[in-house]
Chain A
Amino acid sequence: MRYSGLKIFTEALTGNKGWGPNWRQPTPKDTYDVIIVGAGGHGLATAYYLAKEFDIHDVAVLEKGWLGLGNVGRNTTIIRSNYMLPGNEPFYELSMKLWEGLAQDLNYNVMVSQRGLLNLFHNDPQRDSFIRRGNAMRLAGADAVLLDQDGVRRMYPFFDFDSSRFPIKGGLLQPRGGTARHDAVAWGYARKCDELGVDILQNCEVESFIIEGGICKGVETAKGSIRANKVAVCVAGSSGHVMAMAGLRLPIESHVMQAFVSEALKPVIHGVVTFGAGHFYVSQSDKGGLVFGGDIDGYNSYAQRGNLPVIEDVCEGGMAIMPMIGRARILRAWGGTVDMSMDGSPFIDKTDIERLYFNGGWCYGGFKATPASGWCYAYLLANDKPHEVASKFRLNRFKSGNMIDEKGMGAQPNLH
């Protein structure tokens, strides 16, 4: 079914009886060409591009709960391509280009809103490093604009520019950055996958891999064993746990990341803003809530909930740039399990086990990557070689010394 203005109009006149479910609830077949483990944003995008771009339709996406239960439905929805390193930036810029056409492509309103992403800086060295990053972005075809204090003042006059501790000196703006509606991204991809013949199997947890003679031949699930030509794991926060079932240890730790929404306020923050002297980022939803977050809690966790000290720390970050939000109340807080890698960058790669593939290590920033991650993972599965822009996301990069460490933090996942 194609969604359109006309469809809404005719449905309104005929009692809205013509809307059907967006996807089927199929029973698993015995075998598939490709099994994707995890119906998050990345898993669903992978299945979609496999079917659409690479004509591989015999695909199942296996999900332990319901689709969208993981990080795709828990993130703060920021999309951007403001990375610096050559291993990263072209990939994220591809993602940004895909975002720009996604609603049309999926025929689904994913609410991509390029409202502009502003990273604030507070001192001279930070300004220098932001100039460098802005230049790197532009070299990769992305957009970046350096704003001085007046430039920021024109956008957000109410910031605490002259705070004695962290005065705001300016910012790096990516006008094409912004937000998208996270749930709609999962639903939009799922609907199209289903249309293209992909089976989305919910409540079908993968419990082990069928590995015969060093070759992965399928998976054992809550709904019985399912065989496949290729098995592609895409489980974000559960990466370590799932890959351990194949006997693999990864350069990844699972951590908890929290996010918050305030009560609804009148429109005040029209873009996305990040604090440069601590970890805090904020946007305002269409309903009026401030959607914000900050640092991960910092200890290994699969609990999908965090602790109070980080909540306090995040709110202090917000207060440092706009003290006026101090009276706003937090309405909701939640956590997700993020797959923190050893250099802060992701993996899209084959594993040492033949026909077993791995996509993960997205840390707290994989929502923006959803379209390109799906695209490049599908490319890898179809062609058995990495896509050009994802060619550095290899599992062996720590052995070969080719880390992609944007922050230069070293092998300490909770610092990335």
Chain B
Amino acid sequence: MRKGWAHSQTCIERHNNMIIDHPLLGPRDAREFVYLGDASLMNRPDWKDENAAEQFYEYLYLRTNTMGEHRELWYHEHGDRSWLVVTRHTLTHEITKVELARDLGLNVGQNK
């Protein structure tokens, strides 16, 4: 049993299966999540701004598409349904930071 488990662990590492260290629930397999995209999607433009149309165009359609460290939104659909901001390297898939999007959002709100 144990041996089998250890073997599957190395397989997973070799295939670089992504484990997201949820701030509340601990390490979870990435397949429990749904991926949305660049965390900049949290910064919705203000519709009252003069150039709101231009800003919304850029917000919705244009991406920096970083090669390297990427901050991105994952939704824990098969879990506690929280939104996470995951910092992950797009060349290695290594995850270095996981934050609750709610906390970040509240911070932004408080500083407005």
Question: Which residues of A approach B to under 8 Å, CB–CB?
Answer: 238-241, 244, 249-254, 298-303, 305, 307-309, 342, 398-399, 411-414
Contacts and interface: CB of A to CB of B under 8 A. Distances in A.
Contact of B63 (A238, A249, A307): A249
B63 A251 contact: yes
Contacts of A238: 67
A307 B65 contact: no
Contacts of A412: 36-37
A254 B90 contact: yes
Nearest to B63: A253
A240 B65 contact: yes
B64 A249 contact: yes
Interface string B26-57: 00011100011110000000000000000001
A252 B65 contact: yes
Contact of A302 (B29, B67, B72): B67
17 contacts: A238-B67, A240-B64, A244-B64, A244-B65, A249-B58, A252-B63, A254-B90, A298-B35, A299-B30, A300-B38, A300-B70, A300-B90, A302-B91, A307-B93, A411-B60, A414-B35, A414-B37
B45 to A, nearest CB: 15
A264 to B, nearest CB: 24
Interface string B56-90: 01101111111100101000000000000000101
B12 interface: yes
A241 B67 contact: yes
Contact of B16 (A254, A298, A305, A342): A305
B17 interface: yes
A254 B35 contact: no
A303 B92 contact: yes
A190 B38 CA distance: 37
A303 B91 contact: yes
B93 A250 contact: no
Contacts of A414: 35, 37
Interface of B: 11-12, 15-18, 29-31, 35-38, 57-58, 60-67, 70, 72, 88, 90-93
Contact of B90 (A244, A301, A398): A301
Residue of B30, B60, B65, B70 contacting most chain A CB atoms (<10 Å): B65
A238 B30 CA distance: 25
Given A250-B63, A302-B91, A398-B57, A307 B37 contact: no
Query: What secondary structure prevails in chain A residues at the interface with B?
Result: mixed
Given A307-B30, A309-B30, A398-B57, A302 B63 contact: no
A342 B61 contact: yes
A379 to B, nearest CB: 26
Contacts of A300: 37-38, 65-66, 70, 72, 90
Which 8 residue pairs are nearest across A and B when measured between Cβ atoms?
Answer: A240-B65, A398-B61, A249-B62, A309-B31, A241-B67, A251-B61, A299-B35, A302-B67
Contacts of B91: 302-303
Nearest to A307: B17
Contacts of A299: 18, 30, 35, 72, 88
B93 A303 contact: yes
B90 to A, nearest CB: 5
Contacts of A305: 15-16
A258 to B, nearest CB: 11
Given A300-B72, A307-B16, A307-B30, A411 B90 contact: no
B37 A413 contact: yes
A302 B90 contact: yes
Given A299-B72, A308-B15, A413-B37, A240 B31 contact: no
A249 B59 CA distance: 11
Contact of B15 (A241, A244, A254, A307): A307
A251 B67 contact: no
B5 to A, nearest CB: 15
B67 A399 contact: no
Residue of B16, B37, B38, B92 contacting most chain A CB atoms (<10 Å): B37
Contacts of B38: 253, 300
A250 B62 contact: yes
A253 B61 CA distance: 10
A412 B93 CA distance: 20
A28 B90 CA distance: 32
B36 to A, nearest CB: 8
B35 to A, nearest CB: 5
